[in-house]
Every structure is written in C-alpha cells, then in structure tokens.
Amino acid sequence: MNILLLGYGKMGKIIGEIAESRGHHITAKINIDNREELDELDANNIDVAIEFSQPDAAFENISWAISRGIPVVAGTTGWLEKKPFIETLTMEKDAAFFYASNFSIGVNIFFKVNRFLASLMKEQGAYQVSLEEIHHTEKKDAPSGTAITLAEGILQEISKLKEWKLSEGMSIPEQFLPITSKRIDPAPGTHIVRYSSEIDDIELSHTAHSRKGFAVGAVLVAEWIKNKKGVLSMDDFLSF
C-alpha cells in the first residue's frame, strides 16, 4: 500500500518503520514544517492516510484527506469536539474514517474488561470510582483519549455518575467521575481504574511498555480499511 503519514513525530516515525517492514511504501511524511506539501500530492497515489499529529492540526489534516476520498486512520486525541463534522464529511464523500483513542489490542481488551467491571460495581454504593492516567511530558492533552474512553465506559454502566471531570488536585463531588492526569517521563502510558471503599480497593490497570503496540495496531487497521466505507472504530476492526 501507499501510505501518507500525517504527523511525523515519535509515533509517526515508529508507524513508518513498521509499515515499511511490512512491505508498504510511505508516500509522504507531513508535519508542521512541510504542511504546504500536502496540496502537491496526488491523492490517486495514496491508499490510506495515518494521522498521528497534534490536536491543533488533526482536524485540518483529516478534512484534507477525507475531502479527497482518502481513507483515514486517526489516533490524535484532544480535538474530538470537531469529530461530528468529520463524520458528516465522511458520509458526504462516501469515504472511510477510522478513529481510536488507542490502537493497542491490549488496551481495547482493557476497555471491555473496564465496562464489565463497572456493570458489576453499579449497585455497590460503598465504592467510589476514579481514574488515573500517566503519560510522558510531551503529551499535550489531558486527560488522555484512552482515559476518556474508559470514563465513557464507566458512565454508560453507573447511572449515578453524571460525567467525568479532570480533578487537577481538587475535590470532586460524588456525582462526578474524577480523572487524575500525570505527566512523567518516560512513561508511554499507564491507566488505572480504582474502586475505593473503607474496607478495600479494587484496581484495574494497563501499562504500556513502549509506543510499538499503538503503532502496530494503527498499521494493521490501515491494511484492513482498504475498500471499506463509513465511520469505523476498533469494535468494527476487532468484531467485539
């Protein structure tokens, strides 16, 4: 396949290496320094775009590709207030758009276990649930997209919780799900779901050892998305 990399930071470089090791060709590597080169590219020579850039660039990058009928696999977080516009554009252009807050297969299993645990805990009023996420200091958005996905899974099961809130060291009312975000190098990503009571604590955690799991997942999805249409997710890819 001919792959366009939209974003060429640490993740983009790992994705490029893995894609080439699997026999794919990188058509172009676009970042903040050469974004003007996008309009010089021939969309007919691009099979899929993989978007791992920054929150302030993601919407424009994805819009550019979708408008030209290029399937997009996106992993940038922190821009999701504009995601409904991308979904509408995808349908208008009869294109393909795939978004995941995390492409790791292990994390997506973790999402399912998280929701199952929440379903077991929803009647256990003695427990207060909270989330903690730890990432490297270069991560711009907080909380992480993975933490937000975990929070959404909990909120779908525990009706007494109204929404999640970033705690930032402050006390959060019981009707909200608190998320604590920490930025510590070189952590690639740790997420902890904690149910606490006076008697005991229950913890569910996932720790990434490197970015490779995210990158491999993104390339596998890019291979899978060819000839597909619509707004897609890891549930579609993994057929959960």
48-80 pLDDT tens trace: 999 999 999 999 999 999 999 999 999 998 899
More confident site: 174 or 194: 194
pLDDT, mean over the chain: 94
For residue 191, indicate whether it is catalytic: no
CA contacts within 13 A on the Cβ side of 73? 28
- DSSP letters of 130-199? EEEEEE-TT--SSS-HHHHHHHHHHHHH-TT--EEEE-TTS---TTEEEEEEEE-TT---EEEEEEE-SS
Q: Which of 83, 122, 135, 140 is catalytic?
A: 135
* Average pLDDT score over residue span 93-115: 94
Percent of the chain whose predicted confidence (pLDDT) is above 90: 82
Q: Which of 139, 140, 209, 226 is catalytic?
A: 139
Residue 167 scores a pLDDT above 60: yes
Domains of the chain: 2-103+212-238 (3.40.50.720), 105-207 (3.30.360.10)
Q: Report the alpha-carbon distance of residue 30 to residue 21 in Å, rounded.
A: 20
Axis crossing angle, helix 145-157 with helix 105-121, rounded to the nearest 10 = 30
Residue 170 scores a pLDDT above 90: no
Task: Indicate the pLDDT class of residue 147, thresholds 50, 70 and 90.
Answer: very high
Do 36 and 60 form a contact (C-beta atoms < 8 A)? no
Q: Are strands 48-51 and 2-6 parallel, antiparallel or unpaired?
A: parallel
Percent of the chain whose predicted confidence (pLDDT) is above 70: 100
Residue 168 scores a pLDDT above 80: no
CA contacts within 13 A on the Cβ side of 100? 24
The CB-based long-range contact list for 156-165 (8 Å cut-off, 24+ gap) reads 156/115, 156/118, 157/115, 157/118, 157/119, 157/121, 157/122, 158/118, 158/121, 158/122, 158/129, 159/122, 161/129, 164/131
**CA angle at residue 186 from 184 to 192, to 5 degrees?**
60
pLDDT on residue 240: 55
For residue 139, indicate whether it is catalytic: yes
- Specify the pTM: 0.81
Q: Report the alpha-carbon distance of residue 131 to residue 216 in Å, rounded.
A: 26
pLDDT on residue 210: 85
- Radius of gyration over alpha carbons of the chain, in Å? 19
> Could you report the per-residue pLDDT of 18-28, keeping only the tens digit for each?
999 999 999 99
> Could you report the per-residue pLDDT of 188-233, keeping only the tens digit for each?
899 999 999 999 999 999 999 988 888 999 999 999 998 999 999 9
